[in-house]
Every structure is written in structure tokens, then in C-alpha cells.
Structure 1
Amino acid sequence: MIALTLAQIAHAVGGQLHTTEPDTDQSVVSGVVDTDSRLIEPGGIFIAKPGETTDGHLFVGAAVENGAALAIVEHVVDVPVSQIVVTDVVRALADLAREVVARVRAAGRLKIVGITGSNGKTTTKNLLARILQDEGETIAPRASFNNEVGAPLTMLRVTDATQYLVCEFGAAGPGAIAHLAGLVEPDVGVVLMVGLAHAGGFGGIEGTAKAKAELVQALRPGGIAVLNADDARVAAMASIAHERGLSVRRFGTVASADVRAEDIETDADGTRCTLIIDGARLPLRLRVLGAHHVWNAMAALTAAAALGVDPERALTRLETVELAERWRMQPLGNDRVRIINDAYNASPDSMAAALRTLAQITGPGQRTVAVLGAMSELGEYAGEEHDRIGELAVRLRIQRIVVIGSEARRMFLAAVGEGSWDDEAVFFETADEAFDYLLTELRDGDRVLVKSSNSAGLRFLGDRLGESFS
């Protein structure tokens, strides 16, 4: 974090400063800000966030042992460290992030990009960060730091030298993106797609579309909206941008796209296509598995172009990316048995895309195996969407369908009902049972997809399989 005095921080968060020594309100703090006491470094700021299972106030002492110079708390803790007492530490975290980013922006060349969408946020964030990091100091979220805690923590990593801040915005419900994006008012806002991910919290896909459009509403005056021209609901957000006097740049496969993809081909080594950018035809070889990542790459390229980055330089950097993120289309295992661990997140759209990728990258003499778990947060759509994925797996001629967990059982039943009768589809209650089965079932030439929402925990099963067949 940039250097601020204790008094400046207290003012920014609207809190009451309690210091260990008198007249220390002008002491300067500039260390790491975090809610995890284990990650605090000397001179850092510990945010004592109450949680569902524990309370951050219990770890103020541990944070001080690691060198914390300040704790932001909701009540004074009997630990020898300066403390700022606020009514809500999560709100205080957001207020501090707003203040820090505003100061850096006012003093330098900071440009901010916000990214949202039902799928692809983390991959696009990583691809864009790879493009920008060679242009200047770039801050981007760790993992999927995109909620009311993770997004401000990312913002607070900016320094006086930061040129680019890439923010990923998730949404727990209506208004969440408006709140997070409103902290920084991005210069560029990327909307990837509107799908059924987390649709249960928005009352359906139209509610999801309205929530994603909050990013366009939050862009600063003169900003640029980067929109997926292939998604009708996203493309319609151009009207919001135009009403606000914002510029619009589009990516996709339609003729109106500013960055357009043609001749998309996928194999086990990645994806190839031709990109048309400003009339020039440029080849792209993306090492990240899956044709759907071409849209994420186009989004990153369009955002980078909006920031003035030369497209050919940007393409060269994209082609160095081998893995979007751990547990996202992550190749494991060996050449004989290849495991693709994509079980960090799942929605109907990403599940379908992963299954299609599995079918596309499996060659003659090889066998497709899909290890599938539940998709969470679908609300009233959960049953029919699990049915649809089970049916799709059969229609794609996936040769072994392994479904795990009671919440995903309808996926198995739908596969059987669609025509998977000869033991192609099997069901297990637990990942341990499925692991034991797969150890004896998998054979040379198998290409195995492990896919589920984070809550199903199959990413750890994917790791175990990858290690077993390494």
C-alpha cells in the first residue's frame, strides 16, 4: 500500500484511532493490507474481519507477531498495536481502497480495467495482466479475488509507480458490482458474457444481465466499454454506454467486432485462430486449452488496445501463457493418461464448453472420460441444467461419464435416460469412491476432464489423479 499516516487512514475509514503511544497519529504505514494474519508482513495493516466460523479479532496478536503496525477492528483488542475502531471492517476496507486508488490516480498515470461476466473473468484477467505487465507496473488479483473483500485487497496493492490496475468483479447479488466498481470508477470495463452462473441469486438470467451491466454504469466519464458482440445481452449494454457518452469496443466473431476471430481450431496443444484487428489479419496460437478461451483472449486484446497497447506486441505476450490459472483447464498426468483439471468453478456454459473441448482434443484411439460434479448457485434452474449437461455428455459421445455427489445425481440419471445404458455412466456418492474406481478404470490413451463447482471439491480429486498418472 502507499504510505499514509495513521491519522489519514483513520479519516479515510471514518474510524477512531487508538495508539499505543501518545502523539503517534502521524506515524506512517505502508505495508501489506490483509485479512489473513499469516500473510501480514512487517509494517502491514491487519483487517480483523469477523467470519462465519471464526473472528479476525482473535488473530490480532498473531498479526502483530508477524509485524503488523496497525489493526482495523470493530472493538479494541487487548494487544499492543495501534488500532482504528470502525463499525464495519469490510466497509472500512472498501473506504481505504477507494482513498488509496484515488490518491495514486491523482498523482500518476494509473489506468484501471474492470472485468465481469458469468464465466471467464479470471482467465481474462490473467491474460490482460500478462499483456500489460511488460508495459508498466501492473496489479491484478490473486486467484479469484473478486468479492467485497478480495477486490479491495487487490486495489490496496497499488503503489505510486503502478500504471495498470486490473480488477475482477464478481457479484453475490444485485448492486455488488456497482459497489465494487464504484470504488475505483474504471477507465475500461469488460463484460464477457451473461449466463446462468449464480443465476439463483439474481432471479434469472435477465437479473444477471442487469447486474453485469452495473460495470458499464460505473465507468468514469470518457471511459470505454469492451463488450462481447456474440452475446446479445452483453451487446445490448452498448445503449447504456452511449447514453453515458462512453466509447464502445466489441470483440467476437460477428462482422461488427473491433477484434474478430475466424477459423478457430482446437487440439490437445491449445487453440489456433486468425484475428482481424483494425483490418490486419493476425494469427493467434493460444496454449490455454479450449476454444472458449479465444473469447477471453479477444476480450484481453480489446481492453489492451483501448489502453493503447500495440496488438502485435499483445499477441506475442498472449502466446507465452501456458496456464490460465490453477484448476482451470489445467493439464496434468502424462502423455498416456492426460488429466484436465477444470474444477475450480462451473456453470452450465462453462461445463458445456469444457465437455466440447474434451471431445475436440481426443484423437483416434483415445478415450474420453468426463468426471463431473455439481454446479452450484443455480437456484430453481439446478435440476434442468444438470439434466442438460448429462444429456450433452452423451450427445458428444463421451465414452465414460463419472458423476459424483448427490447434488449432481440428476446429471447421471439424464445421461442414462439419453442413451448411456452400457455402463458408460456411473455414479458415486464421494470423490474417494470415484478415485478408487478411476485408478482401475483409466488406461493408456484416456483423456480425462474433471469439472465441477468449487464447492464440490473435485479439484482435489483432479490433483490426486494427476499425481497418480504423472
Structure 2
Amino acid sequence: MIAFTAAEIADITNGRLAAEPGIIPGSVVTDSREATPGSLYVAKPGETADGHDFVAAAFDRGAVLALVEHDVADAAGHNYPAVVVQDSVLAMGALAAETVRRIRAAREADGQPLTVIGITGSAGKTTTKDLLAGILAAEGPTVAPQGSYNGEVGVPLTVFKADAHTRYLVIEMGATGVGHISYLADMVRPDIGVVLCVGTAHAGEFGGVENIALAKGELVEALPATGTAVLNLDDARVAAMAGRTRATVLGCTAQSAGDAQVRAGQVGLTPGGSPEFDLFLPGDPNGHHVSAKLIGAHHITNLLAAAGAAHAAGVPAGRIAESLSAQAAASRWRMERTERADGVTIINDAYNANPESMRAALRTLADLGRGRRTWAVLGAMLELGEDSIREHMAVGTQVVRLNISRLVVVGREARSLYVSAVNEGSWGNECVFAETVEDAYDLLQAELQPGDLVLFKSSNGIGLRHLGDRIALPPQAPGRTATEGSALL
């Protein structure tokens, strides 16, 4: 982390210094449990708890300064060392912006650049981020988000991990409304921007798909003329963003040559369901073969986008292809495959879900499941707004038409998916509605057989990723009860 004195933090955030610490903070945390000696603790109001209630706990763990929205006193009535601001989250953003500015200045003074890459899209952001970070880490010191840190809190926390030695800063950018990505882009000033797709995730919050496209395009609008916009030309709404940027456009496609400079040729899947193809980049007419370790053809878009961004950052084509072929999934619950000793295969893709990623996961299940009994254990896709029932019904129809052997629909939010599958002709025990996760757990424990292939897919808030983890455990030993297993949730 770039070092700031308490007075500098107050100046940058337009805050008031309540009491000054004797030590300059060396890290930033928003969870008091993560505070360590020398931390700056950011107390932010939350939906279920107020961070100001945990200032004392943060200082007990070694925090030396707090960023707060009002004074907080200890048991003796003395204010904790703090910078008091109007909005602690916006203050974090201001501090992050100054961090990026100082890192750029320090590196440019030494004749070395800092390259900032922003990644957005309705699906695939985290996988693409992980792939790109894997490529760049072999080229120089690289900082990338932990998990899916991609919002107004997560992006600053990622930035604070960087310092003057950082060569590449990879930023994942999420949004739930127009203007959110502009805010993040203004904070980090990306040199390269990657847009993957415009789907229907969060359509209810955005007010429609066109607003999602408007928001995602804010990233390429923020790029400088010297920058590069990496666009997925297989998505028409993303392709249209070429007219919204002054940066050089680097188009990617897995479908046809067209005007794309980043292409996948001879596309296929390995017996294990991993994509393989010949990667063509600008200045590389012969291409390089990529045999990925990720599961599902839909990852080709993510692989190409990571390749395009790495090329824009100056990485040679051969090293890009080599890295893409070597990397497995780095983040949990994203087409995560587990082979149980009894021959049951679990694919846990329940970190998040929207109609696009749901369809892709089901196609992968059907492709991998030829000759096996397949199970789709599905929960709701949240935040779809007025399209929710229609989109869930479309998924139910798809499950039947893909000839998935068994469908287990979990939770009332997804009941329209179950009704649609029944109406499409999935009757008897082919299609089951489970009111709760525990009901689904009991059913699967009782009926899974060696050789079965099981997909878990839902939005994060539904919690099927934890059910997938439980089912991925070895079968219950005699005497172990479902209640005992439920402690893993």
C-alpha cells in the first residue's frame, strides 16, 4: 500500500482529523476481524450492521486509524484516532484514486509504466480477471481482485494492495445501475478496457437491457485515446460500443473472422468438456494452439478477452497461449468440478446465475453427460425484474429439450422453472420441486448413483454453492445424519 499520513488522508477525503495516530497506516480493511497491526479501518454502514459498532474491535486487533462518519469514543470517552468524513465509501474511493495517481507518478519518474486493465460484462468477469492476472503475473508484479471484489468497496480494496512496484493492476468492474462503472473508471483510470457481454443480469435494477449496455459501455468511454478497448464482437451490443470510445478497438470473436483481430479457429471441446482452439492475435498469422483447463465452450469468450487484453499490454502471443493452456479455474464455484470416489461427478457453478450463464452451464452439462445420467439442480436467478418469470420458464424448457435426465428445482423463487419443465413434458420423478435446500440435499443423498453427473446453478443469494459443496463430500458414512452434514452450510 502507498503510505499516507492521517493528515493527508483527511485532506484527500475532505475529512476532519479527530485524533492523530503516531503510526502511518500500512493496510486498509473494512472488516474489523481482518484488522492487523498498522491497519486503517473503514467503518461503513451496512444492510445488517454498522461498521462504527466495531471500531473498538478493530483497534483491539491493531488498527491505528479509522475512517468514520462520526466520532467514536473508547470506554474512557476518548475519541479513537480517526478521519471523520461525510461518506466513508466515497472517501475510500477518493483515497484509491490518489493511490493510483501516486503509483503512476512514482513509476513514470523511474521510466516504468503502470498498466491498469478494467474488465466488465454481465457474465465472465471473474474468470477473465483470473486468466488475465495469471498471464500478467509471469510478466511483472500484478495486483488483481480477491474473488469478485468489483464494486465501490471492492475496487478500492484491490487498489490498496498495489504499490510503486506494481506493473499491472487488474480491476473487475461490476454495476447495478447507470453511472456506477463511470465512477469506478474515474477512480482507477484504466489504460485497457474489456467488455465481455451485455446480458440480463440485474435487469430489474437497471431498468432494462439497454440500460445495462449503456452502463457497461461507460468503461470504454473512459479510456484515453492511447488506450485499447477489447470488445467481444459476438455480442451485438458490445460490438456497438466501438463507436463510444476514442481508444483503439481490439475485437474478439469465436464465431467468424469479420473485423476481429483476436480470433479462435478450429474450435472444439476435449473429452472432459474443456475448450481448445487456435488463437490468432494481431501480428501472429500462424496462431498458437490453446487447450484450456476450464470447463465449457462458453469460456472461449473469456479466454479470447484475456488474450486480447494481454496482447494490448504487450505480452507475446506464444506466452499468452501457453499461460491460457496451463491455468485452471482460480475462483471457487465457477464450473468447479469434483470427482467423488464413488464415481459421481459434481459441477458447482452456483456462485452466480443469469439467463446467459444458466443456458451455457446447461449446454455444458448436456455435452459432458452423454452416456451418463445427468442432474440439473437449479435455483433462482435473482434481480431479473419483470422478466423473471419468463426467463425462468425459458430455462425449464431448455432443460427438457436438452434431455437432462433429472431436474431438481430448489426454492419458491424458481418455481416457474419447475412448472415450465412439467408443461414441456418432464413428468414423474424426472422433475422434482424442493421447497428448501435441505429437501434437495436429502433427495440427492438418497438417489445419486455412481456415474451420475450433477450441475448446481443459482444466484449467489440462493446458496446452492454450499449444497454443491456438501454433495461433493464422500457419501455419508453409516450413522452420520443429514443434520450433522448441514453444519457445513
- Which position in structure 2 is the counterpart of 1:35? 30
Per the TM alignment, residue 435 of structure 1 is displaced from its structure 2 partner at its CA by: 0.6
User: What CA distance in whole angstroms lies between the structure 1 residues aligned with 2:470 and 2:120?
Assistant: 31
Per the TM alignment, residue 469 of structure 1 is displaced from its structure 2 partner at its CA by: 4.6
Deviation track 1:135-170 (CA, whole Å, cap 9, x = no partner) reads 111111111101111111111111110011100110
- Partner amino acid for 1:247? T
- Asked if 1 retains the 8 angstrom alpha-carbon contact of 2:333 and 2:351, the reply is yes
Per the TM alignment, residue 314 of structure 1 is displaced from its structure 2 partner at its CA by: 1.5
- Which position in structure 2 is the counterpart of 1:66? 61
- Which position in structure 1 is the counterpart of 2:483? none
Per the TM alignment, residue 273 of structure 1 is displaced from its structure 2 partner at its CA by: 1.6
1:376 aligned residue (379, 382, 389): 382
Per the TM alignment, residue 81 of structure 1 is displaced from its structure 2 partner at its CA by: 3.9
Per the TM alignment, residue 20 of structure 1 is displaced from its structure 2 partner at its CA by: 4.9
SS of the residue 2:181 aligns to: helix
Matched, 1:257 2:260: yes
Residue pairs, 1:111-150, within 5 angstroms: 111-150=115-154
User: What CA distance in whole angstroms lies between the structure 1 residues aligned with 2:188 and 2:83?
Assistant: 23
The unaligned stretches of length 5 or more in structure 2 are 108-112, 477-489
Matched, 1:399 2:405: yes
- Partner amino acid for 2:67? I
- Which position in structure 2 is the counterpart of 1:310? 316
- Asked if 2 retains the 8 angstrom alpha-carbon contact of 1:331 and 1:339, the reply is yes
- Which position in structure 1 is the counterpart of 2:15? 15
Per the TM alignment, residue 462 of structure 1 is displaced from its structure 2 partner at its CA by: 0.3
- Asked if 2 retains the 8 angstrom alpha-carbon contact of 1:288 and 1:324, the reply is no
2:114 aligned residue (106, 110, 116): 110
- Asked if 2 retains the 8 angstrom alpha-carbon contact of 1:333 and 1:467, the reply is no
SS of the residue 1:210 aligns to: helix
- Which position in structure 1 is the counterpart of 2:4? 4
User: What CA distance in whole angstroms lies between the structure 1 residues aligned with 2:235 and 2:357?
Assistant: 15
1:77 aligned residue (72, 78, 98): 72
SS of the residue 2:404 aligns to: coil
1:295 aligned residue (288, 296, 301): 301
Distance 1:185 1:221, change over 3 A: farther
Matched, 1:338 2:334: no
Residue pairs, 1:50-61, within 5 angstroms: 50-61=45-56
User: What CA distance in whole angstroms lies between the structure 2 residues aligned with 1:67 and 1:129?
Assistant: 31
Residue pairs, 1:421-440, within 5 angstroms: 421-440=427-446
Per the TM alignment, residue 468 of structure 1 is displaced from its structure 2 partner at its CA by: 3.4
Per the TM alignment, residue 269 of structure 1 is displaced from its structure 2 partner at its CA by: 5.4
- Which position in structure 2 is the counterpart of 1:360? 367
- Partner amino acid for 2:2? I
User: What CA distance in whole angstroms lies between the structure 2 residues aligned with 1:236 and 1:208?
Assistant: 13
User: What CA distance in whole angstroms lies between the structure 1 residues aligned with 2:64 and 2:225?
Assistant: 37
1:467 aligned residue (451, 459, 473): 473
User: What CA distance in whole angstroms lies between the structure 2 residues aligned with 1:432 and 1:332?
Assistant: 21
- Asked if 2 retains the 8 angstrom alpha-carbon contact of 1:188 and 1:219, the reply is yes
- Asked if 2 retains the 8 angstrom alpha-carbon contact of 1:17 and 1:84, the reply is yes
The unaligned stretches of length 5 or more in structure 1 are none
Deviation track 1:385-431 (CA, whole Å, cap 9, x = no partner) reads 00000000111100001100001011011111111123211101101
**TM value normalised by structure 1:** 0.96
- Which position in structure 2 is the counterpart of 1:452? 458
Per the TM alignment, residue 434 of structure 1 is displaced from its structure 2 partner at its CA by: 0.6
- Which position in structure 1 is the counterpart of 2:42? 47
User: What CA distance in whole angstroms lies between the structure 2 residues aligned with 1:347 and 1:384?
Assistant: 13
- Asked if 2 retains the 8 angstrom alpha-carbon contact of 1:3 and 1:28, the reply is yes
**TM value normalised by structure 2:** 0.92
- Which position in structure 1 is the counterpart of 2:216? 212
Q: Flag as ranges the 4+ runs of structure 1 deviating above 4 A.
A: none
SS of the residue 1:219 aligns to: coil
Distance 1:466 1:234, change over 3 A: same
Per the TM alignment, residue 32 of structure 1 is displaced from its structure 2 partner at its CA by: 1.6
Over the matched positions of the two proteins, sequence identity in percent amounts to: 51
CA RMSD of aligned residues (A): 1.4
Per the TM alignment, residue 224 of structure 1 is displaced from its structure 2 partner at its CA by: 0.7
SS of the residue 2:17 aligns to: strand
Deviation track 1:225-252 (CA, whole Å, cap 9, x = no partner) reads 00001111100100112xx3x1000111
- Which position in structure 2 is the counterpart of 1:161? 165
SS of the residue 2:418 aligns to: helix
The number of aligned residues is: 461
User: What CA distance in whole angstroms lies between the structure 2 residues aligned with 1:393 and 1:263?
Assistant: 28
SS of the residue 1:377 aligns to: coil
Residue pairs, 1:279-294, within 5 angstroms: 279-294=285-300
User: What CA distance in whole angstroms lies between the structure 2 residues aligned with 1:293 and 1:279?
Assistant: 23
- Partner amino acid for 1:343? A
- Asked if 1 retains the 8 angstrom alpha-carbon contact of 2:198 and 2:238, the reply is yes
- Partner amino acid for 1:48? A
- Partner amino acid for 1:249? L
Per the TM alignment, residue 12 of structure 1 is displaced from its structure 2 partner at its CA by: 0.8
2:175 aligned residue (162, 171, 175): 171
